[in-house]
Structure 1
Amino acid sequence: MAEKYLAREKDPRRRSILETLIAHAKAEAAANFPALMATVSPQAHYQSYATNDQAMNEAQSPQGKEGVAAYYAAIVESGCHFIEHDVDRMAVGQDTLTTEGELKMGYPGGVLSALGIDVPDPSTLYLYEQRLLIVWGFDEEARVLCEDSYSGGGAGFDGISERPIRTEQIYRVTQSASDSSAT
């Protein structure tokens, strides 16, 4: 959806924001850490409002570029980077952008076990589904300043052990070396 918006957007600031969002999303999906971090502001501050569990929200709310880097590194290291966000609504402003749609994520069974969720096979991925809204903020150089996330609806963790999934069932982006630079 962001590429469609970019194709028709004339405002230079909004174009820069859309270009950053596209580069950020592709780098995150490809687990291209250097390209991903090139899109993040030094003053980054993420905030999760995704659950009623304050400790989990805080764990998903990194502060500063180093905190964001550690957050993304932990996602990749844990195998929780098989993510698809099928955006069906988007709004672009001068400093913010919102994305809303269905989130699908392949959660490793080992991670679910560590969270106290019984799964038949810890080596298998399990499908997490949730409606997700992200309010993105951008700094003066159009780098990601914040990702404030809100979720609701969808199965979430309820019954997740009954939803095994293969990696090819989650949308994946691959990048060539020439695509690895971010705006």
Structure 2
Amino acid sequence: MAIVEPTNTWKLLEERLAVTVNERHRQVLEIVIAHMKAEAVPDLDGLMKTLVPEPNYHFWQFGQDVGPKGWDGVRDYYAAFVASKSNILEFDLDRLLVDDNCVVTEGYLRQIYPGAYAAQIGLPVEDPAADYLISFRQLLLWPVDAAGLIVGEDSYHSGPVEIRKLSFDELPREYVELVYPGV
């Protein structure tokens, strides 16, 4: 079994979309799916096309909002995300709510991090040269405007529930190609 299966990130949304008849709910689901898929590639321009002109992200950590704000702030955030090579992830959802203006997703976010990047952002890893599977329990609110674009993300997470050093053999092919090209 794979350490992470990226397609699980949008699987529940696609299942809901397949049985949803409300056109507005379909629109809201479709933009979040497009965003998730662009994040997985990663496609920076594709990600930004899913957002309003002045998106605001709210990442709540230790009572502080540390999310990026505005077009440039969010674009810089995603550029850093792409550069970090930590986009090999799975958001294994067990809860999905949809209304006319928002999608709410909840589950376990499992993400593979290069150890140096994990250490840089304050995660307690023992070996910066290693690769780590880091899991969080996360709830995300995806507000969507009247035109069908994502206004931002409101993220709440538990902090790491697992930090596990991975052997090279456990790394998915996509991650190896991204982090260790030519190996």
| Shorter-chain TM band | 0.7 to 0.9
**Structure-2 residue corresponding to 1:119:** 126
Contact 2:48 2:75 in 1 (8 A): yes
Q: How does 1:89-104 map to 2 (within 5 A)?
A: 89-104=95-110
Cα displacement (A) at 1:117: 3.7
Preserved CA contact (<8 Å) 2:130 2:165: no
Q: What residue in structure 1 maps to residue 165 of structure 2? A: 163
Q: CA deviation at 1:104?
A: 0.4
Give 1:138-149 correspondences, 5 Å limit: 138-149=144-155
In the alignment, is residue 24 of structure 1 matched against residue 29 of structure 2? no
Bigger shift: residues 126-135 or 145-154? 145-154
1:169/1:116 CA distance change after superposition, 3 Å: same
- Pair 83,146 (structure 1): closer, same or farther in 2 beyond 3 Å: same
Q: Supply the AA of the counterpart residue of 2:165.
A: R
Q: Deviations over 1:66-120 (max 9, x none)?
A: 2111101001112222221011110000111100011101121111333374523
Q: CA deviation at 1:163?
A: 2.5
Consecutive unaligned residues in structure 1, runs of 5 or more: 172-183
Count how many residue pairs are aligned between Structure 1 and Structure 2.
161
Give the counterpart of 2:59 among 43, 48, 51. Answer: 48
Aligned counterpart, 2:179: none
| 1:135 aligned residue | 141
Q: Which moved more, 1:92-101 or 1:145-154?
A: 145-154
Percent of residue pairs identical = 35
Specify the SS of the correspondent of 2:151.
strand
Aligned to 2:6: none
Select 1:11's aligned residue among 14, 22, 26: 22
Shift of 1:153: 6.7
The offset of 1:168, in angstroms, is 1.2
Question: For residues 144 and 10 of structure 1, do their structure 2 counterparts lie closer, same or farther at Cα, with a shift above 3 Å needed?
Answer: same
Q: CA deviation at 1:5?
A: 0.9
Aligned 8 A contact 1:84 1:170 in 2: no
Q: CA RMSD in A?
A: 2.2
Number of the residue aligned with 1:77: 83
Instruction: Work out whether residues 137 and 161 of structure 2, in 8 Å CA contact, stay in contact via their aligned partners in 1.
Output: no
How far residue 133 of structure 1 moved from its aligned partner, in angstroms, is 0.4
